[in-house]
Structure 1
Amino acid sequence: MTRRLTEVNAKKEAASILDGFKAFLMRGNVIDLAVAVVIGAAFTSIVTAVVKGVINPLVGGIGTKNLDHYSVCVKGSCKPGADGVEILWGSVAGAALNFVITAAVVYFLMVMPMSKYLARQEARKQARTGKTEPEPIPVTELEVLQDIRDLLVAQRTGTVDGVVKQQRPAGPDLR
């Protein structure tokens, strides 16, 4: 009997895990993320081509055409067959340049225009409805304390639907 209950519970747990996974996959965020990864991978090749084809030759006007060749020898001789320690700072600079260019292109060609588009859509929506969202009225701590005091007094004196049946006792008014 116990074995059968264990099997039933295991099947229910497996079904709930699969249902949860299915719900996760069906959310729009997962699809959006997958599209972003694919487009990002394609976009990376474009940026890499721009860096290697345009930026590196411009930098090459000063030195080599490939940033990967810039290095510093820290210890000993860095000639072939020597035991020196070579720091390849050019490849790091190239990767950083690649990142900055990617971030700039994404911001200026994707994020900024989308933000402007969404702001225009919101302005059109408000113009159509003629409504703007009301500003929330901030509640001060003093008002909350006064409401609590009023509820306690009403509870002590007896009320029905917030209507006081008898007068409040004389005392200091905190308002």
Structure 2
Amino acid sequence: MLQEFKKFIAKGNVMDMAVGIIIGAAFTAIVQSVVKDLINPFVGLFTGGVDFENLFVEMDGSEYTSLVEAREAGAAVFAYGSFINAVINFVIIAFVVFLLVKAVNRAKESAAKEEEAAAPAAPAGPTQEELLADIRDLLARNNQG
């Protein structure tokens, strides 16, 4: 069983997956920082500083000044503001990821074009007509001899 496990771990796709997960975790931190530190302040300016997090309805009829207070009291709350925040953050994160993927794809295309331009052209071979003429001549010689 230990040998089988060693073979599994040694496979390239397992290591590729591990690297992808680690890079994904680091990438998540970058995207979250872009959203939280760079984009959300502008969203706050456009919404007039409305804090959606504290939009909630108490299900038991009690009154609380904040969602945190209501949750600490163990009250049942319908926290629609948290949902609105989650949707806004999702849209922003999806847009940031779209922009990053678009930039990476552009860089890949640019590198591929440079590589294509640097690659030497394959030597030109005989044309189809030249090959057919050679075949015709060979057949003519074989029929004569």
1:67 matched residue in structure 2: 52
After superposition, where does 1:41-56 map in structure 2 within 5 Å? 41-50=29-38, 52-56=40-44
Structure (1 or 2) with the larger CA radius of gyration: 1
The 1:76–1:51 alpha-carbon spacing in structure 2 relative to 1, beyond 3 Å, is: farther
- What is the Cα deviation at residue 130 of structure 1? 3.9
- Indicate the SS of the match to 1:103: helix
Contact 1:51 1:98 in 2 (8 A): no
**Candidates 94, 102, 120, aligned match of 1:112:** 102
- Indicate the SS of the match to 2:3: helix
Q: TM-score w.r.t. structure 1 length?
A: 0.50
Contact 2:53 2:81 in 1 (8 A): yes
Gaps of 5+ in 1: 1-12, 132-175
**Candidates 103, 118, 123, aligned match of 2:113:** 123
Query: Partners of 1:51 and 1:92 in 2: how far apart?
Result: 18
Gaps of 5+ in 2: 65-69, 123-145
- What is the Cα deviation at residue 57 of structure 1? 4.4
Contact 2:56 2:80 in 1 (8 A): yes
The 1:16–1:39 alpha-carbon spacing in structure 2 relative to 1, beyond 3 Å, is: same
Supply the RMSD in Å over aligned alpha carbons: 3.1
- The percentage of counterpart residues that share the same residue type is 15
Query: Partners of 1:66 and 1:51 in 2: how far apart?
Result: 15
**2:4 matches 1:16:** yes
Stretches (4+) displaced over 6 A: none
Query: Partners of 2:62 and 2:121 in 1: how far apart?
Result: 72
Q: Which amino acid aligns with 1:47?
A: V
- What is the Cα deviation at residue 123 of structure 1? 2.5
The structure carrying a bigger helix percent of its residues is 2
Q: Which amino acid aligns with 1:66?
A: D
**Candidates 85, 90, 93, aligned match of 1:102:** 93
Pairs aligned (count):
112
Q: Which amino acid aligns with 2:95?
A: A
After superposition, where does 1:66-85 map in structure 2 within 5 Å? 66-72=51-57, 77-80=61-64
Query: Partners of 1:121 and 1:51 in 2: how far apart?
Result: 30
The 1:78–1:57 alpha-carbon spacing in structure 2 relative to 1, beyond 3 Å, is: farther
Query: Partners of 2:13 and 2:112 in 1: how far apart?
Result: 30
Contact 2:35 2:89 in 1 (8 A): yes
